[in-house]
Amino acid sequence: EMLRSLVLVGLVATVAGAGWTPKHAAELIKTAKAIGAPGKGILAADESTGTIAKRFASINVENSEANRQKYRQLLFKTPKIEEHISGVIMYEETLYQKSDEGTPFPDLLKSKGVITGIKVDTGVVELPGTHGETSTTGLDGLAKRCAKYYEAGARFAKWRAVLKIDEKTGCPSTLSMQENAWGLARYAAICQSEGLVPIVEPEILMDGPHSIEHCAKVTEEVLSYVYKALADNHVLLEGTMLKPNMVCPGSESSKACTTAEMAFHTVMTLRKAVPPAVPTICFLSGGQSEEEATLNLNAMNAITAVSKPWSLTFSYGRALQASCLKAWAGKDENIEKAKQVLLERAKANGEATLGKYAGGAGGADAAQKLFVKNYSY
């Protein structure tokens, strides 16, 4: 513990000597490292009201605030979930909801040692002059919102930028990469100024027929733009997390890849583009099945031939919740069963962060594809 404290002090002193330093630097560094703790990752429960409506429609449940509170409470009250989950991303409504006993959800999670996060972007809009590419909105008033969220108990934030691959039209365009990288960097700097660790999420969609090699090339280029923008905006990398896509073939590709190939291309791409100062990389699942997302994460962590200076973990929404939601089906009598399903999936992913997942958790339900074309939420 003393050594950890000395390292933390040393990091803060180092970044302070390099120029502008956020006033919350020590807390930011501590939070970013804690979320990447061995055997743990993030439960992304930040679906917007519109997106959760689609999830509930699949199990014939009304999209009411009461049902949204009941479902999120099921997730957060799962016994022993804290053994595998270090952080939870919430939608704004959820941040201010309470358990049936009157405990605010951030306090409920804090009592388990789980850190609360908050989705802060306000969605995407089309980027004029491009082939349907987008940029993310939400910078207006962000500092005030972040201060409010910090007061409510949040300690990290998420902002999703969305890019697409289309070799025929040249996507992602330079304009799209520059605009999304700059937006992520401005968001990150603002979050840090108010005490929130920013998850930097430049998601490259799986849509399309592209090869895994082309996805690797594009991912490296996008990340290069992102880290240049973060540097230009004086973002403290030690107090950030990266949420990237895994490097894989497009959803319409005629050439499938093995788990080992995906792991190799992803790790090698990250080694080229992500500075070692970044403590935690928490992957998005991108529409993979629950089992695929876990096996792929496990394969990356099982690689020992090259160094991986970051914690490689998960920030999964659908790939943690799909089977749990199906098991619950909106019925009170199914709540305990649904909690067990969630815990099993969380445990599997926790094992995958250590490269120790043997496979098979969740059975056939976990193998169902979750891909949605041009996914938004």
Instruction: List residues with catalytic annotation.
Output: 201, 243
Alpha-carbon distances, residue 320 vs 67, 71, 288, 347 (angstroms): 19, 14, 11, 10
Contact 243, 222 (CB under 8 A): no
Contact 202, 226 (CB under 8 A): yes
Rounded CA separation 224/216 (Å): 12
**How are beta strands 134-136 and 154-163 bridged, if at all?**
unpaired
Contact 165, 215 (CB under 8 A): yes
Alpha-carbon distances, residue 331 vs 54, 68, 70, 81, 306 (angstroms): 17, 13, 10, 21, 48
Rounded CA separation 132/176 (Å): 10
Contact 74, 61 (CB under 8 A): no
* Tokens encoding 210: 């592209």
Q: Measured in Å, how far apart are the chain's first and last C-alpha atoms? A: 40
